[in-house]
Amino acid sequence: MVHSIAIGSLTLPELEETKHLKLTDDADFFPEWHQNLPALNDEETRYLDQVQREYFDQTRSGQISEGLIKLIVLSPLLHLAGFYRRPFEVRLEDSVQVEVTEANQVWRGRIDALVIKDSFWILVIEAKNSALGIDTAIPQALGYMFANPQTDRFTYGLVTNGSSFAFLKLAQTPEPRYEVSDVMLLLPGRNVLGRVLQVMKRLGQQIAA
């Protein structure tokens, strides 16, 4: 009997066991998050400073929802990265499923945001509300990334709760392995949104090349 499991309920130990997934120790596996990043212009930097101010204005009265984080933070980043323009496409709440034959399981869920070019997956985005740590989003994002139909290609992910950001990279062949970037923390006077945008642009340029 095949069991249906919500991707949002997966844990890293479950992923490691059912998909034989390993955190790689290869220092050269994920250079895209910190090497050869494109420069930002003054207009982009000023715009991101405004996004940061608006985010902190919204948090003055407490935690903010996942939906508001998508509007205030993620949407401007997607815009500046050029992902709303051809040849890219952004899909929201896309339903996916992953068949795990050995475990008699089917994982199901909805991706918060998926950036594609033609049929190629560029970036899987998983957001959480500001009260949750991004560590809770990592196994969920990896679960979605396993749904990439191009299993011979790398899949990238971005997890955020509005103030913390981390990028993921997954390889499914020849054996499943992944890496996580350093966490980028948004603080007053320290706007890391520029670094986040640089990585997003780098991934878009890499696919479009």
Of the two residues 100 and 77, the one the predictor is more confident about is: 77
User: Residue 208: what pLDDT?
Assistant: 66
Question: Which of 208, 174, 163, 184 shows the shortest CA–CA distance to 34?
Answer: 184
Interval 31-49: pLDDT, tens: 999 999 999 999 999 999 9
pTM above threshold 0.75: yes
User: Residue 3: what pLDDT?
Assistant: 84
Asked whether the beta carbons of 147 and 168 are under 8 A apart, the reply is no
- Residue type (1 letter), 200: M
Whether residue 100 is predicted with pLDDT greater than 90 in this model: the reply is no
HSE-up (13 A, CA, CB side) for residue 1: 3
Whether residue 101 is predicted with pLDDT greater than 90 in this model: the reply is no
Calculate the average pLDDT of the chain.
Answer: 93
For range 25-32, the mean pLDDT: 96
